[in-house]
Structure 1
Amino acid sequence: MQPLQAAMNRIERILQLLQTAPKDNFLRHALALEYGKLGEEAKARQLFEDILTEFPDYIGSYYHLGKLLERTGENELALEWYAKGMAAARQVGDRHAYGELQGAHDELAY
């Protein structure tokens, strides 16, 4: 199976699952990652932003949203999302995520 077809199949399957669980953040995050792989940055960005607006403690999406924003040249906004993610990670005590977000932030800032 071709990579593009495989990605489309994964997207189809995730969309089917989301019909029964539309607020499942794991599925929405996975869908955003798949869209990102296909270069559909706007769809991926919207999903990440929706997740983080509704569930600011879904820590993993901060990193991926920041990286997406870096790819699209929106570095200042990426820094803002990394900082928000660091604050959220600190609040829930997730040191690993905090370190990853801080590393991405610092690498971009300097």
Structure 2
Amino acid sequence: MDRITQLKEFLQANPGDNFLKHALALEYIKIGEDNTAKSIFEEILTQDPNYIGSYYHLAKLLERTGDTDAAIAWYEKGMEAAKKAGDKHAYGELRSAYEELTF
């Protein structure tokens, strides 16, 4: 059984599990299904803006696919969420990626 099928089965049992959704989005990136991954990351962040890890991966995906403005916006949202959560490590990673893109 491939990882995508396995993750989908886990999600049927736990549809609100953002960790599983995040893992599924990463698997879609691995096989070049960027639009599917993007939709999953956006769903996660719409339902739970405090799921900090997805900001970085969504912004990187957008950056890689040429949507720089959207990537910058997601980095900014992620930095704000990380700051509110007191997650200095995530804030630093998001800020570093943001600065690399904007400077």
Aligned to 2:49: 56
CA distance in 2, matches of 1:69, 1:37: 15
Give the TM-score, by structure 1 length: 0.92
Aligned to 2:4: 11
Amino acid at match of 1:12: T
Aligned to 1:24: 17
- Where does 1:23-42 land on structure 2 (aligned, <5 Å)? 23-42=16-35
Aligned to 2:95: 102
Instruction: Specify the structure having the higher radius of gyration (Cα).
Output: 1
CA distance in 1, matches of 2:59, 2:74: 6
SS of residue in 2 equivalent to 1:39 = coil
CA distance in 2, matches of 1:64, 1:37: 12
Residues 85-108 of structure 1 show CA distances to partners (whole Å, capped at 9, x for unaligned) of 000000010000000000000000
Give the TM-score, by structure 2 length: 0.98
Unpaired segments of 5 or more residues in structure 1? 1-7
**Count of aligned pairs:** 103
CA distance in 1, matches of 2:43, 2:60: 16
Aligned Cα RMSD in Å?
Answer: 0.8
Unpaired segments of 5 or more residues in structure 2? none
